[in-house]
Amino acid sequence: MITLLDYGAGNVRSVINAIESLGETVEVVTCGEEILRAEKLVFPGVGAFGSMMEILEKKNLVEPLREYLYSDKPFLGICLGLQALFESSEEAPGIQGLGFIPGIVKRFTIKLSVPHIGWNSLNIKQPSRIFNGLTGDEKFYFVHSYHIVPEDNSVVLTTTDYGYKFTSSIQRGNIIATQFHPEKSGVPGLRILRNFLQINRASKRLVQVPGETRLAKRIIACLDVRSNDEGDLVVTKGDQYDVREDGSVRNLGKPVELAKQYYEEGADEIVFLNITGFRAFPLEDMPMLEVLRQTSKNVFVPLTIGGGIREYKDKNGRKYSALEVASEYFRSGADKVSIGSDAVLIVERYMKTGRTTDRSAIEEISRVYGNQAMVISIDPRRVYVKSSNEVKHRVIDTSAPGPNGERYCWYQCTINGGREGRNLDAVTLAQVCEKLGAGEILLNCIDRDGTNMGFDLELVNAVKKSVSIPVIASSGAGCEEHFYEVFTRTEAESALAAGIFHRKEVSIGAVKNYLKGKVEIRPLYVHKGRGRNK
């Protein structure tokens, strides 16, 4: 029996699912006595340091947690569950942590994108039982803007490089805590969890080639989901956002099965987009919640859900905030939510007044769940102009002139699945969303969507250069070389594709094999019950 501390913010379902997939049962703690009775305690932290400590205080969990830690019974902290062990954090000045390990938590001060999102490796500094069965070359999933700085180096279990070297996990006796998420780190992550649970395993010292660890470029599979004309929830795919062929919605498979298949083939992340979310009330669209619940039982990489994350009134007049809608998705297994249409409307309001309301969906969701959980999905379309000062938008000098020889273009934001163009450009949208608290940009391109022509590198460069958060390049991937191109000719941290994977033209394994040795990627793993991923 594993005891899990859930203080009520974010996605603990993934941790529960990962532990249960190893054949263990999980008891979720609701009071201090249960912490003291625990034999093995797992503490996954999500959200922000300040609100975490306030909730722990309010629920009278701080003292039992300290007592448990000092008793040296097996403890695994994850992400904020690691940071909580320290004395304080720059994220919440004046708020005390558990103070179990001397040291503080600091924000990254680097030129690279923050948050540090994605798959990075570990430099192992001590023997530990959690490394049994690993080679030391594995990559693990990180998502954080702050990192720990222990006073005493003897607690450092691993370090990782991102701009500089930081401590990515600690070990003191039976207390182990990681900045990365084992529950979201595929096969090696599950291995770490299993090793933690088997407390009698011998400690292993891994011999590694010394050197800097490197963040991998991520390959993301996207599943556009909607009901077809028969009422079944299907994965579909459009050509420039038109998902109908001969009058019917294209049906490319079932969402839960396809997500599992892509995970096993090596996808670093899965994105679900409910593409009719702008029409219906998503919380009445229960199948999407069920899709997430089922997917998160078998898929141990990050899951993003978009489509219909916005404020809504149901038929009885009850109002739901976007935060409430998002919370339901987080509880069902989402790690991030993405906002499309509403982000455009929020930024338009901001541009009119020049002020934030502090209460927009972007601000509220990122405040509660952290910036890393708030993705903005942009659906831009090229608009050609003859001169760079013809419009007030951010105009680029394009190498692909327009139909009438226009040398310039700007990228117009659209809403409602590309149906309505707005008087706002994608660069401005991305910049304002970052200011409001967004942690990542999912950058689609209607002109390239489903065309197999390759990513719009000019668009990716224009947006990526204007923000300091990670950007996912999306739309147009047609072959392995297109991924190489986007990773070498832009600074995008990840690339997303849909059509080529669904139509089985190119597999995720083929993309990774092509990139291997040229671009840093997460290695492929063999999944039990499947043939070898090449």
* DSSP-derived secondary structure letter, 321: -
Residue found by looking up tokens 């065309």 in the block = 451
We find the least distance from the C-beta atom of residue 506 to ligand 1PR, in angstroms, to be: 10
Q: Is 147 a catalytic residue?
A: no
3-state DSSP assignment of residue 524: coil
Q: Which of 132, 139, 124 is nearest to 207 (CA)?
A: 124
Cβ 475 to ligand 1PR, closest distance in Å? 3
Nearer to ligand 1PR, 79 or 471 (CB): 471
Tell me how far apart the alpha carbons of residues 148 and 339 are, in angstroms, rounded to a whole number: 31
The catalytic position among 6, 91, 138, 224 is 224
Q: Judged by CB, which is closer to ligand 1PR: 76, or 343?
A: 343
Q: Which residues pair with 147 in a beta bridge?
A: 106
Catalytic option among 79, 409, 413, 445? 79
Site residues for ligand 1PR per CB under 6 A:
222, 224, 237-238, 241, 243, 273, 275, 277-278, 306-309, 338-342, 377, 379, 417, 444, 449-450, 474-477, 496-499
For residue 272, list its beta bridge partners: 223, 305
| Residue 84 to residue 105: CA distance in whole angstroms | 9
- Phi, psi values for residue 415, rounded to 5°: -130, 170
89/475 with CB nearer ligand 1PR: 475
Q: Give whichever of 193 and 486 is closer to ligand 1PR, judged by the CB atom.
A: 486
79 catalytically annotated: yes
CB of residue 353 to ligand 1PR, shortest distance in Å:
22
Of 432, 421, 427, nearest to 346 by C-alpha is 432
> What is the CB neighbour count within 10 angstroms for residue 161?
16
Active-site residue identified among 181, 393, 482, 502: 181
- Three-class secondary structure of residue 191 per DSSP: helix
Exposure letters 91-114 (e unless 16+ CB within 10 A, then b): bbeeeebbebbebbbeebeeeebb
Q: Which is nearer to ligand 1PR, 278 or 525 (CB)?
A: 278
- From 264, 268, 363, 379, the catalytic residue: 379
3-state DSSP call for residue 24? Answer: coil
**Active site includes 224?**
yes
- State which amino acid sits at residue 286: M
**What is the Cα–Cα distance from 182 to 335, expressed in whole angstroms?**
14
The CB-of-226 to ligand 1PR minimum distance in angstroms stands at: 8
Annotation marks residue 268 as catalytic: no
**Closer to ligand 1PR by Cβ: residue 120 or 414:** 414
Q: Which is nearer to ligand 1PR, 400 or 526 (CB)?
A: 400
The one catalytic residue among 91, 138, 183, 364: 183
Rounded CA-CA distance 417/241 in Å is: 7
Helix, coil or strand: residue 517: coil
- Rounded to the nearest whole angstrom, what is the least distance from the CB of residue 417 to ligand 1PR in the complex? 3
Please tell me the number of Cα atoms within 13 Å of 300 on its side-chain side: 25
- Shortest distance (Å) from residue 433 CB to ligand 1PR: 12
Smallest distance from the beta carbon of 513 to ligand 1PR, in angstroms?
A: 19
Positions annotated as catalytic residues are: 79, 181, 183, 224, 379
